Structure 1
Amino acid sequence: MLNNKNFALIGASGYIAPRHMKAIKDTGNNLVAALDKNDSVGIIDSYFPNAYFFTEFERFERFVDKYHRANDKKIEYVSIATPNYLHDSHIRFALRNNSHAICEKPLVLKPQNIDLLKIIENETGKKVYNILQLRLHKSIIELKEKVLRELEQNPGKVYDVDLTYLTRRGKWYFVSWKGDISKSGGVAANIGVHFFDMLTFIFGNVVENIVHLKQDDTNSGYLKLKNANVRWFLSVNYDYIPDNIKAIGQTTFRSITVDGEEFEFSEGFTELHTRSYEEILKGNGFGLDEAYISINTVYDIQNSSPIGLKGEYHPFCKKILG
């Protein structure tokens, strides 16, 4: 397939960057330039060995500007895989350089920034797309369709949902930007935002948001959605992973139950960035409006005071507060 769209990538050395490179390649497009202050980016050779690479934003910005001014050249999309607190600025850069923006989650850290980005979209005529890949997962689409069918029969039905996600992170995590809540948004934003998006995608908007536990490595709370009561627990502390999971050598535990029944969606993740790009290129990507609910949810969690073991708390809270 011939390359037909030109891309730039900001955040080329991060964990998630290769998925963006692969998605650009898989959709038959071309990576023109990449930026990262760290130069451990040899992975680019596996996808786009001819891409220009910059470690300084100023030189990258100059290249993009000059590239746009060449009569027959254009960068249609800027992909953004940088630390969370930089997303807003890099999206603005993309739009103001006449490119659409494709950004990792969380899109921004404050919901009011979405309102401001809408203004810039209108000024520039360019779009912001958020990678919300769980919405494209086959099992999640099937669950959403099942819930919609059941709600047609019983519009007042309210599901009971437990979300539990624990994944080990070493000491590096708290030294990096991820450990700085002002830069990451905290645990809920780092490892939970896509789950919150998935749950509101299926069960409707947030009616009530209560935080029971908030520590540097663990957040837990309760969400009342339009059609579900959700108890959730998120942690990067290995100690809280169930013993039976540790016994088989695993460092991640993920569980979602719906009315007491385990919802299995552990497979089918590998191509979701490519699927996201395919939809974006067809004009069907998830934009600012789709991102708003999950961003508002994690922002409220970040700015709420925990109430402890009161009300509908997740049973894992007793591991810490009991």
Structure 2
Amino acid sequence: MKRFALIGAAGFVAERHIKAIKETGNELVCAMDTFDVMGRMDSYFPEAEFFTSEEELVQFLQQSNENGKPVDYVSVCSPNDLHIKHIELALKNGCNVICEKPLVIDPTRLEKIKEWEAESGKRVNTVLQLRYHPTILKLKEEIEQSDKDFFDVDLKYITSRGKWYFKSWKGDVEKSGGIAANIGIHFFDMLIWIFGKVQKNNVSVYEATKASGELILEKAKVNWFLSLDANDLPEVATKSGKRTYRSVKVAGKEIEFSDGFTDLHTVTYQQILAGNGFGVEDVWESLDLIAFVRKV
């Protein structure tokens, strides 16, 4: 049984991490968030310590080391701009890291993470759950076995958000990294993983609520569109009352993977705990891509 701490426990995605810790048979010993209403923890780890400041968390980690019961992993679910700070906190207190996407906003900070890993002897893992999705794994296998050398791909991801979004850190490009980092990172990583490295990147639209462009990879030309605007939802989504629409077409064929997208954190944790997690080198290309998109 591994001992976990979690930073950003009140965030939307944090519950998936807490559930994954539980389902892999491990223990959440403490959690930290500046938001202090944490009833969700009672369903999973009611005995876990809870802190509202980083200072309290660091003190707990240090005391755990001194008492011979070190925390093995820190799960980082804080706002995107704080990831680098919390990764450093974890590594410098002797903990491995499991960090939500994007690992960092600024890819130039990845070299610093590698330095901290070398100094601490610990590892930083990130969450790229689409790489474990059965449909995506099947697609990757089909592309690798195909006689074709190049593919046309269309990506559309529309996830409509209310007015709250733009008052939160998610709507602040300096804190979230913008729409490409916040909602596009999984899809860009998936496409690079399957179709190869970026050869050319043309951005046609980049706004607070939507972005689009053409991406040339080693094995594909990708037309992509991301949006937070409900007005962009197609009729097939609005008729069924859905506020999210995902579509990936490869050579005109729809790749359906709507189901199971949110249920892969436990698989991610299983792989990380088995020594098969995705680290700094795995995210470099996609983080460079979204940095380019953001600066256009």
TM-score by length of 1: 0.90
Segment of structure 1 superposing worse, 234-243 or 101-110:
234-243
Does residue 274 in structure 1 map to residue 266 in structure 2? yes
What is the aligned partner in structure 2 of residue 45 from structure 1?
Answer: 42
Aligned mates of 1:267, 1:188 — CA distance in 2: 22
SS in 1 for 2:267: helix
Aligned mates of 1:302, 1:122 — CA distance in 2: 30
> Is the CA contact (8 Å cut-off) linking 2:154 and 2:223 kept in structure 1?
yes
TM-superposition CA deviations, 1:34-87 (whole Å, max 9, x none): 00000121110111000000111111211111111113x010100000100000
Aligned mates of 2:228, 2:260 — CA distance in 1: 23
Aligned mates of 1:139, 1:44 — CA distance in 2: 32
What is the aligned partner in structure 2 of residue 195 from structure 1?
Answer: 187
What is the aligned partner in structure 2 of residue 314 from structure 1?
Answer: none
Aligned residues: 296
Mapping 1:202-217, distance limit 5 Å: 202-217=194-209
Does residue 101 in structure 1 map to residue 78 in structure 2? no
User: Which amino acid letter does the alignment assign opposite residue 136 of structure 1?
Assistant: Y
Structure 1: state its 5+ residue gaps. 305-322
What is the aligned partner in structure 1 of residue 78 from structure 2?
Answer: 82
User: Which amino acid letter does the alignment assign opposite residue 42 of structure 1?
Assistant: G
Q: What is the Cα deviation at residue 206 of structure 1?
A: 0.6
Does residue 115 in structure 1 map to residue 111 in structure 2? yes
Aligned mates of 1:247, 1:167 — CA distance in 2: 15
Q: What is the Cα deviation at residue 223 of structure 1?
A: 0.7
Q: What is the Cα deviation at residue 212 of structure 1?
A: 0.2
Which of 282, 291, 294 is the equivalent residue of 1:299? 291
What is the aligned partner in structure 2 of residue 56 from structure 1?
Answer: 53
User: Which amino acid letter does the alignment assign opposite residue 247 of structure 1?
Assistant: K
SS in 2 for 1:98: coil
TM-superposition CA deviations, 1:220-251 (whole Å, max 9, x none): 11110000000000000111111342122111
Mapping 1:107-146, distance limit 5 Å: 107-146=103-142
> Is the CA contact (8 Å cut-off) linking 2:74 and 2:97 kept in structure 1?
yes
Does residue 147 in structure 1 map to residue 139 in structure 2? no
User: Which amino acid letter does the alignment assign opposite residue 104 of structure 1?
Assistant: E
> Is the CA contact (8 Å cut-off) linking 2:215 and 2:221 kept in structure 1?
yes
Which of 8, 11, 29 is the equivalent residue of 1:11? 8
User: Which amino acid letter does the alignment assign opposite residue 146 of structure 1?
Assistant: E
SS in 2 for 1:207: strand
> Is the CA contact (8 Å cut-off) linking 2:21 and 2:266 kept in structure 1?
yes
Segment of structure 1 superposing worse, 38-47 or 262-271:
262-271
Which of 189, 210, 233 is the equivalent residue of 2:225? 233
Structure 2: state its 5+ residue gaps. none
Which of 24, 28, 48 is the equivalent residue of 2:25? 28
TM-superposition CA deviations, 1:105-141 (whole Å, max 9, x none): 0000011111110011111110000000000111101
What is the aligned partner in structure 2 of residue 66 from structure 1?
Answer: 63
Q: What is the Cα deviation at residue 270 of structure 1?
A: 4.3
Does residue 285 in structure 1 map to residue 277 in structure 2? yes
Aligned mates of 1:189, 1:40 — CA distance in 2: 28
Q: What is the Cα deviation at residue 266 of structure 1?
A: 1.3
Does residue 258 in structure 1 map to residue 250 in structure 2? yes
What do you get for the CA RMSD once the two structures are aligned? 0.9
Aligned mates of 1:89, 1:258 — CA distance in 2: 38
TM-score by length of 2: 0.98
Pick the structure with greater CA Rg. 1
Q: Which runs of 4+ in 1 moved over 6 A?
A: none
Aligned mates of 1:243, 1:26 — CA distance in 2: 38
Segment of structure 1 superposing worse, 265-274 or 94-103:
265-274
Which of 163, 188, 198 is the equivalent residue of 1:171? 163
User: Which amino acid letter does the alignment assign opposite residue 40 of structure 2?
Assistant: I
Which of 208, 218, 226 is the equivalent residue of 2:210? 218
Q: What is the Cα deviation at residue 269 of structure 1?
A: 2.8
Percent identity among equivalent residues?
49
Does residue 243 in structure 1 map to residue 239 in structure 2? no
